[in-house]
Every structure is written in structure tokens, then in C-alpha cells.
Amino acid sequence: MNLPFEPQRQTQDYQASDAAHHIHAFVDQKALNAEGPRVMVRGEGLYLWDSEGKRYLDGMSGLWCTQLGYGRKDLTAAAAAQMDQLAYYNMFFHTTHPAVIELSELLFSLLPKHYSHVIYTNSGSEANEVLIRTVRRYWQVLGKPQKKIMIGRWNGYHGSTLAASALGGMKFMHEMGGLIPDVAHIDEPYWYAQGGELTPAEFGRRCALQLEEKILELGAQNVAGFIAEPFQGAGGMIFPPESYWPEIQRICRQYDVLLCADEVIGGFGRTGEWFAHQYFGFEPDTLSIAKGLTSGYLPMGGLVLSKRMAEALVERGGVFAHGLTYSGHPVAAAVALANLKALRDEGIVRQVKDDTGPYLHTLLHEVFGNHPLIGEIQGTGLLAALQFVEDKGTRKRFANENDLAWQCRTFGFEEGVIIRSTLGRMIMAPALVASRAELDELVDKTRIAVDRTARIAGKL
Ligand code: PXG
């Protein structure tokens, strides 16, 4: 075997030790132990290698993270230099450091001008934990402490910690002891599955009006904020109809409810705009960020606040009783700074908008537009979902769509491409540095996986 790395140990040896000690994410651990996890050992650009030397084109940017791809020497150099200079200090005790100052400067030069402050965290889940406390604090400062309830959406995803999973709408997570008081949910705007006879525009408005109904039911004087992903990521890369966001924004403004966008997946260029809310054309009060902030090279997240909120908290709020040991970690900040500089200076976000994004979507429509298994192609920029369908006329989905999607993902691995499966949808979100040739390969290998799935489903 000609491997591009020196394997340290046998795959089975890694797997046995992993099974002995490690509880993985979102999996039946016993079943995984029996199967043995794939051991990833190297990444370069869009490619990954496992411990058997098999190469994969990573069509998911790790977990929607690696905007710059793997193996960027400028990011490793930034981390090493910062570790040498100041590996750690904290934001407690009236202290700061240059890396975090420069990161914030750059971040706000990229954001729309009505945002001014950020609270750094280590992850997206923490950003949303902090969100709840910050939003409630904001209303306290404004003399409305009863405004505490957060409204989220069914099938939304905001993280895996207690409050973040409660904000999210994954019922199977709630059932694992994951609910907190003062959180409510409305339906997701998933027209293909739930739109029935309504047009997408009618359905988008209908879903948005559910927010108004929920606010009136709970009492606007009790509702603090509405949180949603601009497009749903983990829930299936679902784009709302165009009518949705303008109506949601109107309702939030009308009832004085903060509009909180979870940009953990949508942020940092994924849609071809710096932030997904810009693509959809609305103005949230807060933005939860993580993932692409560092291209996933180190854990870092944050909660971005509008000037209006920051002004109330800073000028009138007194002590803000919140802080994490690793908030604004210098090494993570240095890597985030190098990452954002590269995204900006190499014109990568613009390239996604003007070149590679349209290229990918043209290609997907050519290849899958008339495919017997695919009912809908959604997305923009370097972000796409393929919807499996049993009957295109009625949009009837397969009873076993989850199994089919998982099978498609497995075929993808066999073909050397990583795509994400959710309930009946296949997702692609490759690194933003993807070239046209790499996108050709992504679509080519995905087509083979989808064709193989179509054969199992009796569609080819
Ligand atoms: N918000 C959103 C919108 C996310 O997608 C989080 C918050 C939580 O971030 P952390 O950094 O705490 O994981 C996420 C995470 C998937 C998948 O399968 C997506 C995420 C996590 C795990 C799996 O698509 N997103």
C-alpha cells in the first residue's frame, strides 16, 4: 500500500481501544463497537485518508466546518506562533490580549454595521446557551424581566448541551432528558414534506404566522426571542420559501421579540454571502457563530449582538455575570484571525458566490434534474440538498427514506466521497476552496451513490 502518511498502528488495534474507552456522538455505541469506526488519519485540501489508506473527497467540510479545507499551513503557523507567544490567558480579572482584539476588529469589518459586540465561546452549543442568558438579561435591563420564553422550531438544531438541545426541535433529544422551562416550538418551513396543496409562498407565510399565533398564545409580554437557522442544517438542509423570513421579521418587530439567527452552519461564506441571513435578506438581533469561524481547526464560537442590545447591556446592564475559562482563547483567536483573513484576502466568499456556487448548482440540475429518485434540489453557494421521492407528482416520500439515505451515504463512502444523509435528503457542503474539478468529482461520485440507491428503491 502506498500511503501518504506513516500508519502508527493497525486499524483493528485503534478500533478495539476506541471501543474500550470512547462514547461517540449520536450513535448506538454497542452497534458501532461491533462494526468498528472508520479511523481518519490525514487531511489535505478537500481530501481525507483513513487508516487503510482509502482516500475520500470530503463533501461535508468535516461537519460543515473546514471552509479552507484541510492542511492549511497559514493556520497551523498562526496557532504555533500564538502558542509560543502566549498559549493561554483569560478574559476574567480585567484582562485581554492582542489576538482576540484583532479577531473582533476583523469580524466586525465583515459583519453588517448594526452589529457591534461579541461574546466568545468554544462551540455553537455554548453560543446558544449564552444566547438564552443574554437575551433574558437584555429584557431585565430594559425593565421587562417577565420576557423569558424562547421560541424555536421543530427539527431545528442548536446544539447538544441541555438548553441548546431544548431550543432545538429534535424530539429524540428532548426525550433524553433534554427539556427546560420557558421554551416553545413552532413548525419548520419544510414545504416539500409538509406543504400539502399550498404553494411554497403560501406555505412559507403559513409557517411564519404560526410564530404570531404562538406569541399571542404565550403573551408577547412573556416572549424574549425567536431562534432559527436561516436554513436548517442538521435537520436536512432545508431552505424556507422566500415568503418566510420577511414575515418572521415583521412579526418579531411587531411584538418586540428578539430575532436570533443561528449562523453556526450558515456563517462564513457557505451561501456565497458572509452570513446566511444576508442571503435571505433579514436583519437578526443576534447571531450565533462557530464552525467556519476557525475552519474547525480549533474550537471557537460566539454570540454576536446588535448595537442596540450591546448598548443596553454595556451602558445600563452593570455586571454581566457570565464567563468561560476559554472565552476568546488566544490560540483559537489567532487561528480564527488567520482563517478570516484568508477567506477575505483570497476572495473565497466571492468565488463561491460568482463562480463555484453557480457551477455546482448548474451541474446538480444537469445531473439530477430528471433523476427518478430526486424530487427537489435545494441550496445555493457550496451548499446543496437532494430530496429522495417515491412519487414526484404527489411528493410522496419513501416509508424507509431514512434507511435509503443512510445506504446512499454508505455507497458514497465506498465510492470515495463523503455526503451527509438525513431523513430522505442527501446533503453536500464541501470546503469553500473547492475547485470546479473537485466539484465535478463530488457530483460524479454522488451520482454513482444515488444511482445505486435508486436501484435498491426500484427506481432504476
Ligand atoms: N447550531 C447549529 C445550527 C448547528 O448546526 C450547533 C449549533 C452546535 O454547535 P457545536 O459546536 O456545539 O456542535 C450546530 C452543530 C449534522 C450536525 O449532522 C450538525 C451539527 C453538529 C453535529 C452534527 O449535520 N451542527
- Give the residue whose CA is nearest to atom 19 of ligand 1: 234
End position of a domain, from candidates 345, 369, 385: 345
Residue 233 forms part of a structural domain:
yes
Residue 402 forms part of a structural domain:
yes
Tell how far the Cα of 10 is from the centroid of ligand 1, in angstroms: 31
- Give the residue whose CA is nearest to atom 15 of ligand 1: 159
Domain residues for 206?
A: 74-345
142 with 281, same domain: the answer is yes
392 with 291, same domain: the answer is no
**Number of domains comprising the chain:** 2
Provide the residue-wise pLDDT of the chain in tens; the chain has 460 residues.
456 666 679 999 999 999 999 999 999 999 999 999 999 999 999 999 999 999 999 999 999 999 999 999 999 999 999 999 999 999 999 999 999 999 999 999 999 999 999 999 999 999 999 999 999 999 999 999 999 999 999 999 999 999 999 999 999 999 998 799 999 999 999 999 999 999 999 999 999 999 999 999 999 999 999 999 999 999 999 999 999 999 999 999 999 999 999 999 999 999 999 999 999 999 999 999 999 999 999 999 999 999 999 999 999 999 999 999 999 999 999 999 999 999 999 999 999 999 999 999 999 999 999 999 999 999 999 999 999 999 999 999 999 999 999 999 999 999 999 999 999 999 999 999 999 999 999 999 999 999 999 999 999 9
Tell how far the Cα of 143 is from the centroid of ligand 1, in angstroms: 33
The answer for residues whose C-beta is within 8 angstroms of residue 6's C-beta and 6 or more apart is: none
Q: How many CB atoms lie within 10 A of CB 195?
A: 18
> What pLDDT was estimated at residue 212?
98
- Give the residue whose CA is nearest to atom 7 of ligand 1: 158
Residue 13 forms part of a structural domain:
no
Residue 220 forms part of a structural domain:
yes
Pull the grid cell for residue 166. 431544548
Q: Report pLDDT digits (tens) over 329-361.
A: 999 999 999 999 999 999 999 999 999 999 999
73-86 vs 330-345: helix crossing angle, rounded to 10: 150
Q: Give the separation between CA 363 and CA 369, rounded to whole angstroms.
A: 9
Dihedrals phi, psi of 444, to nearest 5 degrees: -60, -50
Choosing from 58, 63, 165, 237 the residue with most ligand 1 atoms within 8 A of its CB, the one to mutate for a pocket test is 63
Q: What angle do CA 17, 20, 23 make, to 5 degrees?
A: 110
64 with 84, same domain: the answer is no
Tell how far the Cα of 262 is from the centroid of ligand 1, in angstroms: 10
82 with 174, same domain: the answer is yes
Residue 131 forms part of a structural domain:
yes
43 with 100, same domain: the answer is no
95 with 243, same domain: the answer is yes
Q: Give the separation between CA 210 and CA 420, rounded to whole angstroms.
A: 30
The answer for residues whose C-beta is within 8 angstroms of residue 380's C-beta and 6 or more apart is: 239, 271, 272, 279, 357, 361
48 with 119, same domain: the answer is no
Pull the grid cell for residue 235. 435537520
Residue with cell 473565497: 348
End position of a domain, from candidates 319, 345, 371: 345
218 with 361, same domain: the answer is no
CATH code for the domain of 410: 3.90.1150.10
Residue 58 forms part of a structural domain:
yes
85 with 201, same domain: the answer is yes
Dihedrals phi, psi of 313, to nearest 5 degrees: -70, -40
Tell how far the Cα of 124 is from the centroid of ligand 1, in angstroms: 7
The answer for residues whose C-beta is within 8 angstroms of residue 203's C-beta and 6 or more apart is: 189, 191, 194, 195, 196, 241
DSSP state letters, 424-458: TEEEE---TT--HHHHHHHHHHHHHHHHHHHHHTT
50 with 141, same domain: the answer is no
> What pLDDT was estimated at residue 2?
53
220 with 362, same domain: the answer is no
Q: Give the separation between CA 209 and CA 197, rounded to whole angstroms.
A: 17
Tell how far the Cα of 157 is from the centroid of ligand 1, in angstroms: 7
Q: Report pLDDT digits (tens) over 368-394.
A: 999 999 999 999 999 999 999 999 999
End position of a domain, from candidates 345, 375, 404: 345
Residue 446 forms part of a structural domain:
yes
DSSP H or E run through 388? strand 384-388
Q: Which ligand 1 atom is nearest residue 263's CA?
A: 3
Helix, strand, coil proportions of the chain in percent (round to 5)?
45, 15, 40
> What pLDDT was estimated at residue 177?
84
Q: Which ligand 1 atom is nearest residue 229's CA?
A: 3
54 with 166, same domain: the answer is no
CATH code for the domain of 330: 3.40.640.10
Residue 5 forms part of a structural domain:
no
Query: C-alpha dihedral over 370, 373, 377, 381, to 10 degrees?
Result: -100
CA dihedral over 236, 153, 261, 376, signed as positive or negative: positive
What is this structure's pTM? 0.98
Distances (CA, A) of 188 to 244, 254, 401, 432: 10, 21, 19, 27
Q: Give the separation between CA 107 and CA 117, rounded to whole angstroms.
A: 10
Residues within 6 Å of ligand 1 by CB: 63, 123-125, 128, 157-159, 229, 233-234, 262, 264-265, 290, 301, 420
- Give the residue whose CA is nearest to atom 1 of ligand 1: 158
